[in-house]
Chains A and B, each alone.
Chain A
């Protein structure tokens, strides 16, 4: 089962290493991890997505809570939160594929952010399933390279992660 976990951490030396090191030594597999500043510069927010059963998820959350720099851990519910991921993808630009790529980019509400005679770079934002679908469309058209940010997520409405 896929879970999205939001973690509030102190913005201090080595925090990301502590969090990622924990996954390694406890044998947790995660799908993505993003980290960035929050509205308070003393804190960063980490968003983790992982697949695993209830046992693995509970252990991961409980172990995270033990880290001194971790101030709050919350499991985000799919129906009450929004999540987005950003994809930058470079595909081969040929006379045969050009119109297909541009049509697909339009349908997926992507933006062409770089264009050369040999390649195009497209930016897509959305939920992970949409990102994956777009990549699948691009595969036969010739992906040169790509880069995903991993998921960021927030709860809907007024709910906030108390620190």
Chain B
């Protein structure tokens, strides 16, 4: 019997075959000298895997990130060596800080040239070591497919995050056998000890003012229904971190919204007054807690997280439960006693009312003007449950956090931890391609200036995004801090640019509209939302709009600023 002839594939082909094997249908990237072989295979296999060419590698990395956030799949980005690789850095760091699973594949100079400062050579594994969960420099083509599989496994396991694989040119051309394998499953996670679960139950049963504080971990796990049932069972209220936005429907009466520096009044107050905080998939970031020495000093704190290094990192907690949060949570929820806490209900209802009053007072000051709140009233009215909201970074991002009404997880993508201006447009393209649902990007004139080049990508691939620029002519968030804390010395935040965003949109082949009133905005947004082409709405708002309420940096709930003239309550 003749021996079956072995099929040998090039390293480049193995990369594409392994991606397809791992269920990857879309990749984002940008070609270059040291990934020519990979792009040649992408060309040959174009019927099996879709490649989206962005205008800049950073946009590709953000697109892979946005794609991952809405689909829950691992985002994949490909770039060449040197500048291609370094252009990914901000995108990888953004994914790392927000625990977004991503695999980045970079080419590098041939192994024999490594270390010689060859053209476009950079040690990208060294550069990305602190911003990846793990990274690889491939030295042997026989290890290539298993390295890619392991990268997917690491990206998806425990607390997700980015993994980078650097593949020298000679590894891409070397030949090797290839055997397809199964899609990898994440590493097993240890379960929290049973006696700790019992201790948590005891603490919850004893609580008079329980507050459930949910973060990105809860949103990624899609624990909406479980948490709602639990809140009703123990008569608790729910607040979220920025990353926890979309984990709870905004319409749910026990959800008080985001807390923290620009959080909603009710959630910040409920957090402050709680006697027990049950943190689920949160890391007590400084933007969420304010001054840690003053943070909920009288409350007991339970923290559920999959990442053991988050327990006691920022806040010393009374009880840390390391392990799969869904499992820990359901074990706790099952054992807790049902209870009613009318005094707590009454107190929180008071905060909700006061929060509404604050919004109303801010509203009264804005009669006649188009304000962020009014823009969101229109967006919330027109958009559907499936609409994906993506933001850039700055004031517009916080207004989104405060006013947007979301109904389900994975319909929101924004750079929380790293706070990456220029994240939005790339991410929105990835989000729309990944979800297939209408995606609305909320951005500012500052942020849009950093990523508007990706309009080219949106037009090329006919991605029917709606881009809303909150155009106030200033770098709003820094401007706001200068207003409140630097006696209005507006150092380098007044843009004074002459950019015509309508013409910019048109030049790229998109539609552009400039609006100055709420009515104009409504008409433009409705047209944009129903349209099938990228549509840019340049919404002109006042530079005096502030994001309020605000807890000053390093302050606590006692220092909350609710109105413009730094008046404290």
Residues of A within 8 A of B (CB): 13-14, 17-18, 21, 25, 55, 58-59, 62-63, 65-69
A59-B129 in contact given A65-B308, A66-B307, A68-B134 (Cβ < 8 Å): no
**Contact yes or no, B308 A13, CB < 8 A:** no
Please give, as numbers and ranges, the residues of chain A lying within 8 Å of B229 by CB-CB distance: none
**CB neighbours of A67 from chain B (8 A):** 134
Closest-CB distance, B292 to chain A (whole angstroms)? 13
Tell whether A58 pairs with B312 under 8 Å between CB atoms, given A18-B129, A66-B307.
yes
B458 to chain A, nearest CB (A): 36
Nearest B-chain residue to A66, judged by Cβ: B309
Q: DSSP class of B's interface residues: helix, strand, loop or mixed?
A: mixed
Pairs across A and B, CB under 8 Å, 23 listed: A13-B137, A13-B139, A17-B126, A17-B129, A18-B129, A21-B129, A21-B130, A55-B312, A55-B316, A59-B309, A59-B312, A59-B313, A62-B308, A62-B309, A62-B311, A65-B308, A66-B133, A66-B307, A66-B308, A66-B309, A68-B133, A68-B134, A68-B154
A69 to B137, CA, bound (A): 14
Contact of B285 with A by CB under 8 A:
no
A25-B130, A55-B312, A58-B312 as given contacts; A14 in contact with B137, CB under 8 Å:
yes
Output the least CB separation between B295 and chain A (Å): 16
Would you give the shortest CB distance from B163 to chain A, in whole angstroms? 9
State in angstroms the CA–CA spacing of A18 and B139 once bound together.
18
Chain B positions 293 through 317: 1 when the CB is less than 8 Å from some CB of chain A, otherwise 0 = 0000000000000011101110010
Chain B residues with CB below 8 A from A55, complex form: 312, 316
Interface flags for B504-536 (1: CB within 8 Å of A; 0: not) read 000000000000000000000000000000000
Contact B125 A14 (CB under 8 A): yes
- Residue on B nearest A14 in the bound complex, by CB: B125
Q: Which residues of B contact A63 (CB under 8 A)?
A: 309
Q: How far is the CB of B370 from chain A (nearest CB, A)?
A: 44
By beta carbon, the residue of chain A nearest B130 is A25
A13 to chain B: which residues have CB within 8 Å?
137, 139
Chain A proximity of B97: nearest CB distance (Å)? 13
CB distance from A143 to the nearest CB of B (A): 36
B302-338 toward A: CB 8 Å interface, digit per residue (1/0)? 0000011101110010000000000000000000000
User: Whose C-beta in chain A lies nearest to the C-beta of B163?
Assistant: A68
A13 vs B134: C-alpha distance in the bound complex, in angstroms? Answer: 12
Residue of A nearest to B313 (CB): A59
CB contact between B309 and one of A17, A25, A65, A68 (< 8 Å): that residue: A65
In the complex, chain A residues whose CB is within 8 Å of the CB of B316? 55
* Complex contacts, B137 vs chain A, CB 8 Å: 13-14
Residues of A within 8 A of B308 (CB): 62, 65-66
Q: Complex: how many Å from CA A62 to CA B322?
A: 11
B134 nearest in chain A by CB position: A68
Collect the chain B residues with CB atoms within 8 Å of residue A14's CB.
125, 129, 137
The listed residue with most B CB atoms (<10 A of its CB), out of A55, A63, A66, is A66
Chain A residues, Cβ within 8 Å of B129: 14, 17-18, 21
CA distance A55 to B311 in the complex (A): 11
Question: What is the CB-to-nearest-CB distance from A48 to chain B, in angstroms, rounded to a whole number?
Answer: 16
The closest CB in chain A to the CB of B139 belongs to: A13
Residues of A within 8 A of B133 (CB): 66, 68
Q: Which residue of A lies closest to B159 (CB)?
A: A66
- Expressed in whole angstroms, the Cα–Cα distance for A8 and B367 within the complex equals 65
In the bound complex, what is the Cα–Cα distance between A25 and B309 (angstroms)?
15
List A contacts of B309 (CB < 8 A): 59, 62-63, 65-66
Closest Cβ of chain A to B490, distance in Å, is 34
CA distance A60 to B490 in the complex (A): 41
Q: Chain A contacts of B312 at CB under 8 A? A: 55, 58-59
| Chain A min CB distance to B149 (Å) | 14
A13, A59, A62, A68: residue with the most chain B Cβ atoms closer than 10 Å: A68
Min CB distance A79 to B, Å, is 26
Give Cα distance in the complex from A157 to B466, angstroms.
Answer: 68
Closest residue to A21 on the B side, CB-wise? Answer: B129
A68→B162 CA distance, assembly (Å): 13
**Closest 9 pairs between A and B when the two form their complex, measured CB to CB:** A62-B309, A68-B134, A25-B130, A62-B308, A63-B309, A21-B129, A66-B309, A68-B154, A18-B129
Alpha-carbon gap, A17 to B311, bound state (A): 25
CA separation between A18 and B154, bound complex, in Å? 16
User: From residue A12, how far is it (CB to closest CB) to chain B in Å?
Assistant: 10
**Interface residues as binary, B132-163 with A (CB distance below 8 Å gives 1, 0 otherwise):** 01100101000000000000001000000000
Q: How far is the CA of A82 from the CA of B154 in the complex (A)?
A: 36
Chain B residues lying within 8 Å of A17, measured Cβ to Cβ, are 126, 129
Smallest Cβ-Cβ distance to A58: which chain B residue: B312
A18 to B130 CA separation, bound complex (whole angstroms)? 8
A63 CB to closest chain B CB, in angstroms? 5
* C-alpha gap A14/B137 in the complex (Å): 9
Please name all residues of chain A whose beta carbon is closer than 8 Å to the beta carbon of B307 when the two chains form the complex.
Answer: 66
Most chain B C-beta atoms within 10 Å of own C-beta, residue among A21, A59, A62, A69: A62
